[in-house]
A and B are shown apart, each in its own frame.
Chain A
C-alpha cells in the first residue's frame, strides 16, 4: 500500500514533472471591517487534485456564520459539482445537506448555485462574482448574493421565500497576487419574513478589507 502510494507519487512527480499533484489554497476573499464596526470574513480553502477536491467554506460576521464542507468533483471544463454539509448559525445552529454547481460561467462570471435541504425545508443560494480590471493591479470585484428558502427556520433567522439580496463592490489593489487591500461598499436588503424576524430592512456600508491567500 505504502509502496503503491510512493510509486504513484514518485512516478508522476519525478518522471514527467508536474502532472496531477496534490495542492491546496486558503483564500481570504473577504476579510473586512464594515463601517458599523462589524467584522466580516469569507474564506474558502481546498486541497486536492484536478478533478477532485475537498473544500471548506466559511462566511460570516461575528455571531452569525455559515460553514460548509464539500467534496468537489469536476464534471466539465468549467464546472464542478459539490456535495456536502452546511452548518448555519444565528442564535442557534442548524445543519443542511447541500448540492452545489460551482464554476466559471460564460462572460467570466464566477458562480455558485447551491441547493440546501434539511430542517424540513429546501433552500437555494446564489452567488455571482465578476472582476473588472482597471489596471493590471487595480481590480473591481462585483458580487451579488441571495438566498431563498421554502419555509421559515426561525432559529437561524431564515424566513420563507426570498430572504435577502446582497450586492458588494470592492476595489482592490494587488500588491502581489496573494495580497490585496481593498475598499468597497456593500448593500443588503432583507425581504418578507426574514426582514421581520431580523427586524432589519436594509443596510449599506463602507468597507475596508484585505484579500489574501496562501
Chain B
C-alpha cells in the first residue's frame, strides 16, 4: 500500500500514465442530500456518479450524497460517527469549528493516521456548542471532489422562525483537483479570463492622460503584481452550486425563514444577496451575534452566516463569485415555478493600491483599532526571505469595515466584520502575541507564512491556559480565510470581539484576534483556500 500510494502520487502529476478509474463494485448513484440525526451515525465514504456539468463524472461522497448528509446534533449528547472508507486511497473527515479532543479532529498526520482503505474509524466526542458548522475531508484535495457537508446543532433558545434551511454553497469542477493544482503551478493565471488588455490601458489614457495613466501602472508593473488577480480559480472550470443543485426553497409570503449559509467551497468567495430584501444576521461561524440587518454578505471560504429573511412572494437567493466569473441562485418563496428575474451582476472591479497594503489614500474608512494599553510580549517567529515572499504590505491597516474589492461601490449595506459583535464573551486581556505574515508568490504559485512553507516549518507553540493574541499581516494581494482547529478565534473589532472559527484577512491588511488556549494536544492553523493549504499551513502544539 505504501508503494501504491507513492505511484499514485506520481501519477497525479502525470509522470506515470494511469487509466481513469473504472466503474467497480460499490460505485453508487447520487441521492438527494438528507439530514441525519441522533447520536449514532454511519457514514460511508465512497465513489458516486454525479452530474453537475451535464456530463456524468465520479465524485467522492458520504453516503452517495453531494453535499454530504446534514448531521443534526444536540448539545450535551455524546455522538459516535462510524466512518468507513470504501475508496482505494486514505481519507478523513474533519468537523470544522467543532470543539473536541484533538484525536477526534480528523487531520491525518496530526490528529491521527487518517482512515485507510477498507477501515472504519469511530469518532466519539461530546457536543459542547450550538449552531451551524460543516465537515469535510482533510486529506489531499479530496474536499474538492465532493466530501463536504453541513452540521446543525440545535440552539439552546432557538429564534422563532417558520422555516429553517441549510444553504451550502460550493464550487464543483469536473477537472481532477491535482490537475487544477498543476495548472496553477505551471501557469498561475491559467483560470483568469479577466486579465488586463490593451483596451483597459487605452481607456485609462483617455481618462487620465498618458502621463498619469503610465504613472498609475508604474508601481504594479515594477512589482509585477496583477490588479486583475482576484481569484486563482474561477468559473472557467467551476460550476457554482447550492445544496444538491436545489433551485427552490419553499416559504409562504411573509414567513420568517432562517437560512444557514455555509461556504463549503474549495476556493470561491461568494457575494450573497436576496434582492429587495434585508438579511438579518443572527450568527456567524455557529456563534450568535447581536443581530444586524444588511443587503449583501461576502462569505469567505469556510465561513458560515445564519440569517433571517421574510420573503415577500417569490424572492431569490443570488450569489456570484468575488471575481464575477459566475453565479448561482435559488428561488425562495411559495411558488417553485414563479418567474423571478435575475438581478444584474455587480461590476467587475480590479484591485487597488489599498489591496496592496498602501496607505488609505482617498478611501474614507474610519480606523478601527483595538487598544492594548499595557504592552505584552511579542514572541518572534522564524522568517525567511526568498521565493515565497514577493510583496510586503507597506502600511497594513485594520480594514475591518472595508467591504472588499468589488463591493466598495455598490451603495448598499454590505456586511463587514465591523458590524458584528458576539455578546456575552469575556474578552480577557492577552498574555502574549505572535505576528504571522501571510506571504506568497503568485508567479510561482507558492504560499507560505513568514516566507516559510508548511513543509519547511516548525510547529507553532501555544501555552495551555494562556490568552494568545495573533496578528496576521497579509503581504499578498489575495484574501486568505485563516482557520484554527480546536479553539475559537476572538476577532478584535475595536474593543468588541467577534467569535469565529475562520477569519478572513483581506489583501494588504492586518487583523488581530485572541485565542483562549483551552485545548490540549496537536492542532493545525491554516488558510482554508484548498490550493494555498500546502504552504500556508502550520501545525500547532499546545504546551502544558
Contact = CB atoms under 8 A, between A and B. Distances in A.
Is the A/B pair a real complex? yes
Interface stretch (A14-22, A57-65, A82-90, A118-126): A14-22
Sorted nearest first, the 6 A-B pairs with minimum C-beta distance are A18-B534, A19-B534, A15-B109, A77-B390, A133-B197, A106-B222
Contacts of A16: 454-455, 526, 533-534, 537
B90 interface: yes
24 contacts: A6-B2, A9-B9, A11-B455, A12-B455, A14-B90, A14-B108, A14-B114, A16-B533, A17-B141, A17-B531, A18-B141, A18-B533, A19-B535, A20-B455, A20-B535, A21-B534, A22-B15, A23-B185, A74-B444, A77-B389, A77-B390, A78-B224, A108-B224, A177-B187
Given A14-B5, A15-B110, A74-B444, 18 more contacts: A3-B2, A10-B2, A12-B534, A14-B9, A14-B109, A14-B139, A19-B534, A20-B453, A21-B13, A22-B10, A23-B185, A24-B14, A77-B441, A104-B443, A106-B224, A107-B222, A108-B221, A134-B197
A20 B444 contact: no
Nearest to A107: B221
Contacts of B23: none
Contacts of A9: 6, 9-10
A19 B444 CA distance: 12
A192 B182 CA distance: 46
Contacts of A10: 2, 5-6, 9
Interface string A85-107: 00000000000000000001011
B386 interface: yes
A74 B387 contact: yes
Contacts of A108: 221, 224
Interface string A113-137: 0000000000000000000111110
B195 interface: yes
Given A16-B534, A108-B224, A133 B198 contact: yes
A19 B13 contact: no
B242 interface: no
Interface of A: 3, 5-6, 9-25, 50-51, 74, 76-78, 104, 106-108, 132-136, 177, 213
A13 B139 CA distance: 8
Nearest to A103: B443
Nearest to B530: A17
A211 B107 CA distance: 42
Which of B3, B222, B454, B530 is most buried by chain A, counting CB atoms within 10 A of its CB?
A: B454
Interface of B: 2-3, 5-6, 9-10, 12-15, 90, 107-110, 114, 139-141, 181-183, 185-187, 190, 193-199, 221-224, 386-390, 441, 443-444, 446, 453-455, 526, 530-531, 533-535, 537
A68 B186 CA distance: 20
Contacts of B185: 21, 23
A54 to B, nearest CB: 13
Contacts of B9: 9-10, 13-14, 21
Contacts of B197: 133-136
A22 B15 CA distance: 9
Contact of A23 (B13, B194, B223, B389): B13
A177 B179 CA distance: 14
Contacts of A18: 141, 181, 530-531, 533-535
B190 to A, nearest CB: 5
A129 to B, nearest CB: 14
A5 to B, nearest CB: 7
Contacts of A3: 2
B536 to A, nearest CB: 10
A5 B197 CA distance: 45
A177 to B, nearest CB: 5
Nearest to B14: A24
B384 to A, nearest CB: 12
A76 B387 contact: yes
Contacts of B140: 13-14, 17
Contacts of B196: 133
B56 to A, nearest CB: 22
B240 to A, nearest CB: 20
Contacts of B182: 23
A8 to B, nearest CB: 8
B387 A77 contact: yes
Contacts of A11: 109, 455
Contacts of A13: 9, 12, 140
Nearest to B109: A15
A81 B196 CA distance: 29
A113 B101 CA distance: 56
A76 B6 CA distance: 31
Contact of B386 (A5, A6, A25, A76): A76
A147 B238 CA distance: 45
B194 to A, nearest CB: 8
A20 B194 CA distance: 27
Nearest to A19: B534
Contacts of A20: 446, 453, 455, 534-535
Nearest to B144: A17
B6 A5 contact: yes
A182 B72 CA distance: 57
Nearest to A3: B2
Kindly name the residue among A13, A77, A177 whose own CB sees the greatest number of chain B CB atoms within 10 A.
A77
A98 B204 CA distance: 43
Contacts of B198: 132-134
Contacts of A136: 193-195, 197
B117 to A, nearest CB: 13
Nearest to B189: A177
B454 A19 contact: yes
Counting chain A CB atoms within 10 Å of each CB, the highest count among B107, B110, B535 belongs to: B535
Contacts of B533: 16-18
Nearest to B447: A18
Contacts of A133: 195-198
A21 B180 CA distance: 13
Contact of A104 (B109, B110, B224): B224
